[in-house]
Structure 1
Amino acid sequence: MKKDIVIVGAGYAGFYTAWRLEKLLSRGEARVTVIDPRPFMTYQPFLPEVSAGSVEARHVAVSLRRHLRRTRVVAGSVTRIDHAARTVTVTPRDGDAFTLGYDIVVVTAGAVTRTFPIPGLIDEAIGMKQVEEAVAIRDHILTAFDRAATLPAGPERRRLLTVTFVGGGFSGVEGFGETLSLAHALVRSYPELRREEVSFHLVEAQGRILPEVTEKPGRWVVDHLRGRGGNVHLNTQLVSAVGGHVVLSTGEEYDSGLIVWVAGNTANPVVTHHSDLPLTPRGSIRVRADLRVEGEQGIVPGAWAAGDDAAVPDLANPTPGALTVPNAQHAVRQGRRLAANLVATIRGREPRPYVHHNLGVVATLGLGRGIFQYKGIVVRGFPAWVMHRGYHVLAVPTWERKVRVLLVWFGALVGGRDIVSLASRAEPRRAFVSGGQPAVTTPAGPAPDTTELRHSVGTSGGSGSGR
């Protein structure tokens, strides 16, 4: 009998599961359906470079319909998983919610941005987990420089040129380093402004940043960012952001034109609150090493999970009970292993456990700057930045995306940075409605509402840049 396989979420794990299933399944063996509110998979490690204009936004978005040719793609959010009835409830952007039946469910819904009840946070901040957020960050910085250049020196100009990143993981450090590099490059094109007026703050609640690297390289990154003029606040929390006025737990206060919240992820609400699958105390789906869901009574038939919303045992870690960290390095490989295991069980064979030995960590700290660590080997500066670009151009899926990214990098090498802001795209009809009068650029004030982004299903990938 042909099996109906439903994949919830088309992030790293979901996309790679479906992509691999297309290669492994024989025609007529199964029907595969992917459900995601977005028509593409986002390659999140490139988002910091999108925010700095080093990578085009479209090139980090991998089209589902173009690359999943034998898979049914449903545009909608899964709002309920009822495994007892073998159904999922799908809420599309248009029309009424409906249910889909299945024989096998693969849950790769991913994580969502974790927030806290900090005054002003939801109203003023923006995340950096989706491509449109990264684009908005870039356009905001470019627009802020244009506005600041027309103002006299003073509080308003200082506010426009102040940027705050909250969170010292990979996303925060890479986004901070890349946009700091962009801002310092912009100063050369604005003779009205001075480099000393540009103020970038990185706020981290712990006593160190980049917890994935060891302590000494982590200290080097802090010193490096501070040496470039960045303000790194360790052991510091954001207390308030009302009206863009930042108040830190150390007592420091200042006005910030842009606040980027990258303080980690949390389990997807559809998994934690709208599913009958077994969960860990942290809200992740309990799975075996072979990625089959496991409950108190043993394996849950017809249920699999991988990526950020799955508690996958880390068999390469000698620590008892260790779980794989939620990043792209694991999610991609878990998707491939899940697909192979799923096909094996359909054909009556035993699945194999997921085992992956860490390949090291690599991060960009801005144009021409980076850090790489593999066990005791640490590479800093330009060589590490080259390694970062080399690794990710190989890791981004599909050859057409690799070629597009390489062409953009080559164009930037020849022609330099493109410093045109397209912030006015948020109101594309303004010129038409105003009768041809010059459009006034949207003020670089509060970030756009990202509530829908935070609660949509289908973002499986790394918390942070995902190495």
Structure 2
Amino acid sequence: MPKILIVGGGYAGFYTAWKLEKSLRKGEAEVTLIDPLPYMTYQPFLPEVAAGAIDPRYATVVHRRHLKTTKLISGRATFINNAEKKVTVTPLVGEPFDVEYDQVVVTAGAVSRTFPIPGVADLAYGMKNIEEAVAVRDRLITNFDKAAGLPKGDPLRERLLTVTVVGGGFAGIEAYGELRSAASALLQTYPEIDFDETKFHLVEAMGRIMPEVSLETSHWVVNRLAERGAPIHLDTQLKSAEGGKIELSNGDTYESDLIVWTAGVMATPTVTRNTDLPIEARGRVTTNASLRVIDADGEVIEGAWSAGDVAAVPDLTGKGVGGFCVPNAQHAVRQAKRLAKNLIAVLRGEDPVDYIHKSLGAVASIGLYDGVFQSGNLAFKGFIAWLMHRGYHGLAMPSWERKWRVIFGWLGNFFLGRDFATISAVQTPRANFEEFASRPRPAAPEVAAAPAVAPAPAVPAAAAAAPTPEVVEAAPAPKRAPRKTAAQRAAEADAKAPEGAETPAE
């Protein structure tokens, strides 16, 4: 059987494996997926996870539950050697090993792209995985707890209640709007904090936000967020965030305890820098429109495929940036489905089909009951667009099992409100146990034995001849004489008596 090896279990990797399972005939091919995580994250839900609108678990799809016949390897692909048709895997536990393949599918996804701005690497949170979204939610709620106990006007209180988001794309705007909405909802349970004390800032280097929508729609979003106490700094760059002190290129400075970075992504470097497959200038695997890997001359490299954020896929609609598909979930899912069909076609001796997808529109949530939708010249704003956002992503979530969990969660929040239970202590789960755990007492120190008396060293002749100071020794304490017996006392009396005298009777 041909061996198909998928590197990466995110959008593109999961959907490729999922579709291969449904389309391959029994015994037609063996599919293996490598990923260090046991689940796929549905990234469009991360802003709602950060805002407490969706349970974190419901924004993930567990590999082992939904991939029934795919062999799963928990580990990282540390080198893709296509010349020898093998991938080196470093497992979560144990020594690295090689996995051989006939067809390799590189779908390693992307990570946050940052710049060498002081403080960002040390303090900021990304918005690319479920763990980051949960950490942002817990940080926001914990900061409200801390600020409520400080007096108004305290600089630390102001810092704790200030949120900064960097990046005005869809991810940044959605995160910004959802966090502002979450903070407004928190105020209902924190009477000690006023609305005006919560400060929100979004920093965007370009002169507009959300390039996927019209300029008019983007202006509406800017004004809408400003009305809700969430202004946007356009044509502004972050110069420094060192120590939590924000310095902007427009001269503004303030302190912020929660910084979220959403200013772009890049192909996962741990994969693209450790392979003999062709990589283009931006660090992505080069492919043709049928999602097959190609070299610098455009020649197909047999047995190699790629899709998603890690791949430079030509956009045949002409709408892409630089001629390539933009790195988003919409393309990743559709590319994966086409890749699975093309791979099966090649195995069966058929020709692959080019990937082409014309976007039907863009939809975003900017907080509870507020959103925006754009398709061509048609735009919806406000509550209707928010319903369209939830409807689209609710249906786009893989598997009906996950769809129902998300939908029931939304219904529960509608009647019961957001769930703001924070479990930030989960980051250090053993701290409380360690603090009060009983420990064995230290062993009693051993009594050292008396050292043996060493022989006196020989005295040199010169030292022996020299006069020594007189040493006066203390007189020994008198010893008590032993008690005498009656016979001894009688004998002493006889000795002292004069000759001829009588001795006393005993």
Q: Name the TM-score, length of structure 1 as normaliser.
A: 0.91
1:155-234 aligned within 5 A:
155-234=155-234
Between 416-425 and 387-396, report the one with greater CA deviation.
416-425
d(CA) in 1 for partners of 2:71, 2:312: 27
Residue 272 of structure 2 aligns with which residue? 272
Q: Are the counterparts in 1 of residues 113 and 264 from structure 2 also a CA contact under 8 Å?
A: yes
Residue 13 of structure 1 aligns with which residue? 12
Residue 330 of structure 2 aligns with which residue? 329
Cα deviation code 1:162-201 (max 9, x no counterpart)? 0100111111100000010000111121111100000011
d(CA) in 1 for partners of 2:410, 2:323: 39
d(CA) in 1 for partners of 2:298, 2:193: 66
1:45-444 aligned within 5 A:
45-153=44-152, 154-295=154-295, 296=297, 298-317=299-318, 322-435=323-436
Q: Over aligned residue pairs, what C-alpha RMSD do you find? A: 1.4
d(CA) in 1 for partners of 2:31, 2:19: 11
Question: Cα offset for 1:87?
Answer: 1.0
Could you tell me which amino acid in structure 1 is paired with residue 418 of structure 2? R
d(CA) in 2 for partners of 1:408, 1:414: 10
Question: Cα offset for 1:270?
Answer: 3.3
Q: Assess, with a 3 A threshold, how the Cα gap between structure 1 residues 246 and 350 changes in structure 2: closer, same or farther.
A: same
* Structure 2 gaps, min length 5: 438-506
> How many percent identity over aligned positions?
55
Q: How many residues align?
A: 435
Q: Are the counterparts in 2 of residues 168 and 263 from structure 1 also a CA contact under 8 Å?
A: yes
Residue 447 of structure 1 aligns with which residue? none
Could you tell me which amino acid in structure 1 is paired with residue 61 of structure 2? V
d(CA) in 1 for partners of 2:39, 2:91: 15
Could you tell me which amino acid in structure 2 is paired with residue 179 of structure 1? L
Question: Cα offset for 1:222?
Answer: 0.8
The SS at the match of 2:137 is: helix
Q: Assess, with a 3 A threshold, how the Cα gap between structure 1 residues 321 and 179 changes in structure 2: closer, same or farther.
A: closer
Could you tell me which amino acid in structure 2 is paired with residue 261 of structure 1? W
d(CA) in 2 for partners of 1:99, 1:342: 23
Residue 22 of structure 1 aligns with which residue? 21
Question: Cα offset for 1:43?
Answer: 0.2
Q: Are the counterparts in 1 of residues 320 and 326 from structure 2 also a CA contact under 8 Å?
A: no
d(CA) in 2 for partners of 1:321, 1:113: 20
Q: Are the counterparts in 1 of residues 222 and 231 from structure 2 also a CA contact under 8 Å?
A: no
Question: Cα offset for 1:302?
Answer: 0.2
Question: Cα offset for 1:294?
Answer: 1.2
* Structure 1 gaps, min length 5: 437-467
Could you tell me which amino acid in structure 2 is paired with residue 32 of structure 1? V
Question: Cα offset for 1:386?
Answer: 0.3
The SS at the match of 1:366 is: coil
Give runs of ≥4 in structure 1 deviating > 3 Å. 318-321
d(CA) in 2 for partners of 1:27, 1:20: 14
Q: Which has the larger radius of gyration?
A: 2
Residue 34 of structure 1 aligns with which residue? 33
Q: Assess, with a 3 A threshold, how the Cα gap between structure 1 residues 319 and 379 changes in structure 2: closer, same or farther.
A: closer
Residue 461 of structure 1 aligns with which residue? none
1:438-457 aligned within 5 A:
none
Question: Cα offset for 1:93?
Answer: 2.1
Question: Cα offset for 1:320?
Answer: 11
d(CA) in 1 for partners of 2:176, 2:55: 18
Question: Cα offset for 1:271?
Answer: 4.2
Question: Cα offset for 1:319?
Answer: 8.0
Question: Cα offset for 1:418?
Answer: 1.8
Could you tell me which amino acid in structure 2 is paired with residue 241 of structure 1? A
